[in-house]
Amino acid sequence: MEEFIGIGCYKTKTMGIAGRLKQQPEDFIVEEVSPDGFLEFGKDSLSSLNQSPLDFVHCTLEKKNWDTMRAVKEIARRLCVSQKRVGYAGTKDKRAFTAQRISIQGVSIEDVQKISIKDIVLRDFSYENDSIGLGSLDGNRFSITIRNCEKGADELKTSVDSISESLKSGFPNFFGVQRFGTTRPITHLVGRLIVKGDFEGAVMAYLAKVFEGEGEGAVEAREFLEKTRDFKEALKVYPKNLGYEISLLNHLAQDGSDFRGALRVLPDGLKKMFVHAYQSYIFNRSLSMHIENELVVERLPLIGFESTPDEFTEKILEEESLKPGDFRISGLSELSSRGEIRDCFVPFEDFSVLDAGVDELNEGRNKITLRFRLNPGVYATTLLREFMKNEYWL
């Protein structure tokens, strides 16, 4: 997967425990830690909730096999409101059990309580004056089962303890594969084309680039569009679950040359994610290069038009035929990015082994369940890769 999306090496040299993640959704539990308290999956976790009507309804969103943006889109559709009225502090994994707080503007608790969606639960309702956004999150707690391990239970515990000790000073703060897409790692590729001003290339990459592992119907539809460029006919063959692609096709069926306008029909969060994913890809590559060269680095830029690149980031930009100013995107100014700074090594807290033993899903193999807490914006899969150290893990 393009060198693990820019992740070129590991920090620790000890042997890992191998294994596989996410063999079933309940293997990956994510519980948000917010200023209001700790969200425990499956329980009413908060107390003293305000029931006097105010501008925003806050509630806990529990989901299974939904990514956050699609869940928010469906909730907004059921309430007949714009997605822009639904706020959340961060996106959560799709193939997982996750719990997070969301806010919805201009509705009542009674309206939200009427929503019934498969594999989504809404609870812990309150009225508040403010929406939930990126600053509303204190961190996430993860309870994750690693399956299909060859080592015995005692050996797994010993290896995990050793690796955990070696990472006490922090682990590399790479962006995880979810940032780029697991089945279709396309997000940063689309972002690269947007930054280069190639809106047609960006749209066609998102619509038509094929990756192994996607469903047969989706692959055939993408191949058809790549071959024919017939947007109206493509609408007839694209699977209905590809909602974002269908939105693009509906626009292009009316004006087959307006690729900039097609991008504008996508939700703001998704459009911005393209550029953010490309910035993340560059960051991952730069951090890998620092580690490979055994250079100490505390922080690196998420490159933008106001950023000063370090030596390796500058080299990457030269290879990509780009400069920081290109992140001021002409024609789609809402996707422009000033850039920011990201820590290169980060801690994990409250680490424990919850269980280790026979893996009932994989005969003759064992499993281990780990629990830990991470700060906002830090990827659990990146930490887990330090423990597992195998190529085929997701």
Burial of 337 (C-beta count, 10 Å sphere; 0-12/13-18/19+): buried
Exactly one of 27, 36, 93, 310 is catalytic; which is it? 93
Q: What is the DSSP string of 32-65?
A: EEETTEE--TTS----S---S--SEEEEEEEEES
H-run or E-run covering 86: strand 86-88
Say how far apart CA 289 and CA 76 lie, in whole Å: 43
- 275, 86, 181, 393: CA torsion to nearest 10: 130
Say how far apart CA 372 and CA 386 lie, in whole Å: 14
Q: Which residues touch 210 (CB under 8 Å, ≥6 apart)?
A: 219, 222, 223, 226
pLDDT for the residue numbered 1? 46
Tokens matching residue 121: 């639960």
How distant, in Å, are the alpha carbons of 191, 303, 330 from that of 314? 18, 10, 22
Helical axes 268-292 vs 311-319, angle rounded to 10°: 120
pLDDT for the residue numbered 42? 72
How distant, in Å, are the alpha carbons of 140, 185, 224, 228 from that of 3? 27, 11, 29, 31
**pLDDT tens digit string along 179-224?**
998 889 999 999 999 999 999 999 999 999 999 889 889 999 999 9
**pLDDT tens digit string along 290-317?**
999 999 999 999 999 999 999 999 999 9
CB 276 within 8 A of CB 329: no
How would you classify the pairing of strands 28-34 and 97-105?
Answer: parallel
- In this prediction, residue 45 has a pLDDT band, given cuts at 50, 70 and 90, of low
CB 19 within 8 A of CB 28: no
**pLDDT tens digit string along 337-392?**
999 999 999 999 999 999 999 999 999 999 999 999 999 999 999 999 999 987 65
Classify residue 304 by its DSSP letter.
Answer: -
For all residues of the chain together, what is the average pLDDT? 91
**pLDDT tens digit string along 144-187?**
999 999 999 999 999 999 999 999 999 999 999 889 988 899 99
Classify residue 301 by its DSSP letter.
Answer: E
Burial of 110 (C-beta count, 10 Å sphere; 0-12/13-18/19+): exposed
Question: Going from the N-terminus, what domains does the chain have, and what CATH number goes with each?
Answer: 2-25+139-173+345-388 (3.30.2350.20), 36-136 (3.30.70.3160), 187-268 (1.10.1510.30)
pLDDT tops 50 at residue 2: no
Say how far apart CA 187 and CA 284 lie, in whole Å: 15
Mean local confidence (pLDDT), 42-65 = 80
CB 239 within 8 A of CB 215: yes
Q: Which residues touch 279 (CB under 8 Å, ≥6 apart)?
A: 191, 302, 303, 304, 327, 337, 339
Answer yes or no: 310 catalytic.
no
Burial of 108 (C-beta count, 10 Å sphere; 0-12/13-18/19+): middle
Burial of 22 (C-beta count, 10 Å sphere; 0-12/13-18/19+): buried
Tokens matching residue 303: 């490159």
* Of 364, 351, 361, residue with least CA distance to 21: 361
CB 26 within 8 A of CB 93: no
Q: Which residues touch 261 (CB under 8 Å, ≥6 apart)?
A: 251, 255
CB 56 within 8 A of CB 128: yes
* Of 287, 277, 391, 274, residue with least CA distance to 346: 287
pLDDT for the residue numbered 257? 96
Report how many helices (DSSP H) and strands (DSSP E) the chain contains, helices first.
Answer: 13, 13
Check residue 55 and give left, alpha or beta (phi > 0: left; psi -120 to 50: alpha).
alpha
